[in-house]
A and B are shown apart, each in its own frame.
Chain A
Amino acid sequence: QVQLQESGPGLVRPSETLSLTCTVSGGSISNHYWRWVRRPPGKRLEWIGYIQYSGSTNYNPSLKSRVTLSIDTSKNQFSLKLSSVTAADTAVYYCARDFPGTSALDIWGQGTMVTVSS
């Protein structure tokens, strides 16, 4: 059974770069699309971007200038970097997998809370 686990700092200073990694266990990272989604407090879920196992990416236009996704198939991991963070980037960050053939998300990590504060 495929499982996802986010890891990374829970506190990031304003103007710095938020970095998170998602580890895929119980299955291969190959042949799938992988996404990052976040939920700021009191707001709705927001799609950040996706990366394909080949490394191709697509980002939410609202975040595109600050987001970089990468993938390491040898470690079965993919990662998120969000630069120049502000308090508005405080959120629970989830990694998730596309249900094959769709962009519905069939497997999710538990989520990790990231607070942007000095």
Chain B
Amino acid sequence: EIVLTQSPDTLSLSPGERATLSCRASQSVSSTYLAWYQQRPGQAPRLLIYGASSRATGIPDRFSGSGSGTDFTLTISRLEPEDFAVYYCQQYGSSPVTFGPGTKVDIK
């Protein structure tokens, strides 16, 4: 199975700053079948990005995804207070679907 690693484990930033989160796969993810999720405490994960770079419905354009092969990036251009949360990547190009361990974005 494809193992996903995310870095950093924690990202401490201030509102208004730019956040760059990394997701690396142990094997190439076919057809950029890579998604990103946001999870706030006590809530279910929320789909942000699918197909590596397509924003899900209702997701603000400050969220963007890029990458291919084994290296993917989620960028939040300017952090809003509600963006402090945990972010997960998921690959769905190879069965079984697998998830990364998450990156926590917290307030500096």
A interface list, Cβ under 8 A from B: 44-47, 58, 60-62, 94, 99, 102-106, 108-111
Contact residues in A for B37 (Cβ distance below 8 Å): 105
Chain B residues contacting A61 (CB-CB under 8 Å) are 96
Question: For chain B, what secondary structure do more than half of its interface residues adopt (helix, strand, loop), or is it mixed?
Answer: loop
Instruction: Please tell me which one of the listed residues A44, A45, A46, A99 contacts residue B56 in the complex, with CB atoms under 8 A apart.
Output: A99
Q: For residue A44, which residues in chain B have a CB less than 8 angstroms away from its CB?
A: 88, 99-102
Given contacts A44-B99, A44-B102, A47-B97, contact A104 B92 (CB under 8 A): yes
A45 to B33, CA, bound (A): 17
**Which of A46, A94, A102 has a CB less than 8 Å from the CB of B44?**
A94
Contact A103 B97 (CB under 8 A): yes
Residue ID in chain B nearest A102 by CB atoms: B50
Q: Is the CB of B50 within 8 A of A47?
A: no
Distance, CA A5 to CA B47, complexed state (A): 17
Secondary structure at chain A's binding surface: helix, strand, loop or mixed? loop
Residue of B nearest to A105 (CB): B47
**CB-CB nearest 6 A-B residue pairs:** A103-B92, A108-B44, A104-B50, A104-B35, A45-B99, A47-B97
Q: Is the CB of A102 within 8 A of B51?
A: yes
Count B interface residues, CB 8 Å.
23
A102 CA to B54 CA, complexed, in Å: 12
Check A99–B47 contact: CB distance below 8 A.
yes
- Please report the C-alpha to C-alpha distance between residue A104 and residue B17 in the assembled complex, in whole angstroms: 28
Bound CA span A44–B39, Å? 13
Separation of A102 and B90 alpha carbons in the complex (Å): 12
- How near does chain A come to B49, taking the closest CB pair, in angstroms? 8
18 contacts between A and B (CB under 8 A): A45-B88, A45-B99, A47-B96, A47-B99, A99-B56, A102-B50, A102-B92, A103-B92, A104-B51, A105-B35, A105-B37, A105-B47, A105-B90, A106-B47, A106-B50, A106-B56, A106-B57, A110-B44
In whole Å, how far is A105's beta carbon from the nearest beta carbon of chain B?
Answer: 6
Q: Is the CB of A99 within 8 A of B50?
A: yes
Cα separation A106 to B92 with both chains bound (whole Å):
13
The distance in angstroms between the C-alpha atoms of A46 and B51, with both chains bound, is: 20
Q: In the docked arrangement, what's the CA distance between A27 and B88, Å?
A: 27
